[in-house]
Copies of this chain bind each other. A is one copy, B any other.
Amino acid sequence: MTNTKPEEQTLSKREFILEEAAKLFVVKGFKATSMKDIAAVIGVEAASLYNHIKNKQEILVVLLGGLADSFSIGIHEIVIKKASSRDKLEEAIRMHIQVSLENRNKTHLILEDWKHLEEPELTRYLMLRKEYQDLFKGLVIDAINSGAIKKGNPELILNHILSSVRSIYNQYLYSNTSKISAQEYEESIIDFIFQGISG
């Protein structure tokens, strides 16, 4: 492990900075966090951060861009699959849960900090998000039309689905049910979305 090549060390140092910055944005807020704060958490001088990252905006662009790409690739792969509309919708929900869980520290960016993106990245991000929601809504509409799920307003249904998945970010859940595995949690959300809490 100490034999890592120099390029790999640089890469992982950058990744480490991005991860720590993401966590700090959650706690302090993006606006209130300075490069100095990020350096302090990592335990280096602010000046040495600039060898890896240009500024706070670059951190935001890289983090949000990576996340948005994961969601975008995921939904595109599902849309083109040959499967029933019910299975495709379920798969999209599972993909959304998995990407969210894998990026738990970064999801705050999606919910709150995207507002701080500057142009042209802001427009690019909003377009990706709109495309994602439209493709997801398409899966909902297909599932309604095939009778796989109840009739209803597709936007409301999509909103219910995405809100349910957002329970992942609930701090209350972290502190109380952290013994639950990611797999169990995923199954619980899927069951809740499709069947509800009634017996």
Binding site for B on A (CB under 8 A): 27-32, 112, 115, 133, 147-150, 152-153, 155-157, 159-164, 166-167, 170, 172-173, 176-177, 180, 185, 188-189, 192-199
Contact = CB atoms under 8 A, between A and B. Distances in A.
A159 B171 CA distance: 10
A169 to B, nearest CB: 9
Contacts of A197: 149-150, 152, 157, 160-161, 193-194
B167 A163 contact: yes
A148 B152 CA distance: 25
A32 B194 CA distance: 41
Contacts of A112: 112
A195 B32 CA distance: 42
23 contacts: A29-B30, A29-B31, A149-B199, A153-B177, A153-B188, A155-B173, A155-B176, A155-B177, A156-B177, A157-B192, A159-B172, A159-B173, A160-B164, A160-B167, A160-B188, A160-B192, A161-B197, A162-B170, A163-B166, A163-B170, A194-B197, A195-B195, A195-B198
